Amino acid sequence: MIIVTGGAGFIGSNILKGLEAKGYKDLVVTDWLGKEDKWKNIAKRELAFVVLPEDLDQFLTKHEPEITAVIHMGAISTTTEKDVDLILRSNQHLTWKLWEFCRDFNKQFIYASSAATYGSGENGFKDQETLDYLNALRPLNPYGWSKAFFDRKVAREIAEGRKTPKQYAGLKFFNVYGPNEYHKGGQKSVVAHIFPDIKADNPVKLFKSYNPKYADGQQLRDFVWVGDIVNVIVWLVEHPEVNGLFNVGAGEARSFYDLAAAAWKAMGKEPKITFKEMPEELRGKYQYYTKADITKLREAGYKEPMTPLEEGVRMYVQNYLNQEDPYL
């Protein structure tokens, strides 16, 4: 039995599809579904249970002998969320509780960290696990800080020689895009945001740059296809001997202009791209450059190639966004 927290969310639901495709059964979702269409993210999956987060403790106790792994994707992932107490309860307290369960009962524990832990990138994008390096990182928002907080806590446990889960793997995702993110509102990927305008043949608007080193639309990100995230996680499930903190990205920095142009091309249209003002509250907290160094992941044994930006965007646009049923 594998538990996927946040399993009805964007990355979580894609992980379920990937595990199911590999023949895994007894898959369990822990998530809130709410009153909107989030349930559609898991409607096509064959699941053993859907467990509300408030019932998770009881479920873990009852099914402990059957559980082999916990894949913890559940989090408050909104980078603009200001309720830090809410963020801590979800992103630190629950994560530690699951760490303790996997530690005490010898289970695999794979959890989502975040590239937001790197802040503006002044200390680089190395997935180092030393406390000195982790303590030097300066996230730009409470979400990033909550993820960095847990990474440091794990690093202290390791440094002090304390007992760990059977497997522990923290994954620093970069800018992920792909199907089943439709419920995320303002946190959807840029591809999902601009697609309705592209379909209607209206110009898309990207943020202007407020950094003289970058022209409008030339801000750089490591955009990673969600299918690559899934492949890494399935590989980790199948390699419980692999432990540590790992960047998971495409390993290259591409511009938002490139991303938008790829989406236009996927629809067989010439790009129409303009620029708009960035909200004031974002200007001082904006990352102008991210690029995942995935050397450590490669050295751990993961050999699959990462999907090129143009191919990932093409698959997303043609196979999902432009379909009547866009769900995975």
Token pair recorded at residue 240: 């419980």
Catalytic pick from 126, 153, 166, 184? 184
Phi, psi values for residue 8, rounded to 5° = -95, 0
143 is catalytic: yes
Let me know the angle formed at the C-alpha of 110 by 107 and 116, rounded to the nearest 5 degrees.
155
Closest CA to 249 of 325, 318, 327, 306: 306
Phi, psi values for residue 28, rounded to 5° = -120, 130
Contact 181, 156 (CB under 8 A): no
Token pair recorded at residue 155: 């690093």
Tokens 């979702």 locate to 29
Q: Give residue 185's identity as a one-letter amino acid code.
A: G
- 225: β partners: 177
Closest CA to 298 of 240, 251, 254, 237: 251
Token pair recorded at residue 106: 């010898």
Q: Give residue 220's identity as a one-letter amino acid code.
A: L
The per-residue b/e assignment along 33-43, b for 16 or more CB within 10 angstroms, e otherwise, is beeeebebbbe
97 is catalytic: no
CA 86 to chain centre: 19
Catalytic pick from 143, 168, 182, 316? 143
Phi, psi values for residue 224, rounded to 5° = -125, 130
Task: Tell me the C-alpha distance between 169 and 111, whole Å.
Answer: 6
Is residue 213 packed enough to be buried (19+ CB in 10 Å), middle (13-18) or exposed (0-12)?
Answer: exposed
Residues forming the active site: 143, 184
